[in-house]
Amino acid sequence: MLADMNPAWVTGDFQEKVIKLYGLGVRRVLVVDEEVPYPDGRLIVSRTDLTGVITHVNRSFVEMSGYAEEELIGAPHSILRHPDMPKAAFRDLWDTIQRGQIWQGHVKNLRKDGRYYWVKATVIPNVRCGRIIGYTSVRRKPDRRKVEECKMLYAQMRAKEQLDCL
């Protein structure tokens, strides 16, 4: 279960959307159309267990997501899922890392206050004695041109996903 977003967390105008999360049902999210720029020179790091439940976050993760560390540890990573992200991107992420490979991609993340931030993510399987025991994601500041490309590509992917569901 992932609690719905609360209007008290959000400042300014927001749109309410409902997203479907894998294995977790639906979540009501509140979306503000304002980007928070990725801070220069920072790495945003998290670790998860095999199911994508967060087990570790660094200070930059806490600051950029807007959630307290206690709210993040034990929560599914989809706590940051933005409705503009296509499902296929995360399917590709999971398929890749479950095969033991590294996934790289650009992700639009939803903050607790409803605003968003773009990252360039590298997700790495953590292997011990030949078995995957969890995953680590390290995010860097994305290239603006790449973000603009992803905005268009993801909008097309989302439109296709919506048509496929009709």
The site for ligand FMN (CB under 6 A) is made up of 21-22, 24, 46, 48, 52, 77-78, 80-81, 85, 87, 90, 93, 107, 109, 123, 135, 137
Which CB sits closer to ligand FMN, 14 or 48?
Answer: 48
* Contact indicator for 3, 15 with CB cutoff of 8 Å: no
Minimal distance in Å, beta carbon 90 to ligand FMN? 4
Question: What is the amino acid identity at position 80?
Answer: L
Minimal distance in Å, beta carbon 79 to ligand FMN? 8
Which CB sits closer to ligand FMN, 21 or 73?
Answer: 21
* Contact indicator for 138, 45 with CB cutoff of 8 Å: yes
Minimal distance in Å, beta carbon 19 to ligand FMN? 8
* Contact indicator for 74, 80 with CB cutoff of 8 Å: no
Whole-angstrom distance, CA of residue 120 vs CA of residue 122: 7
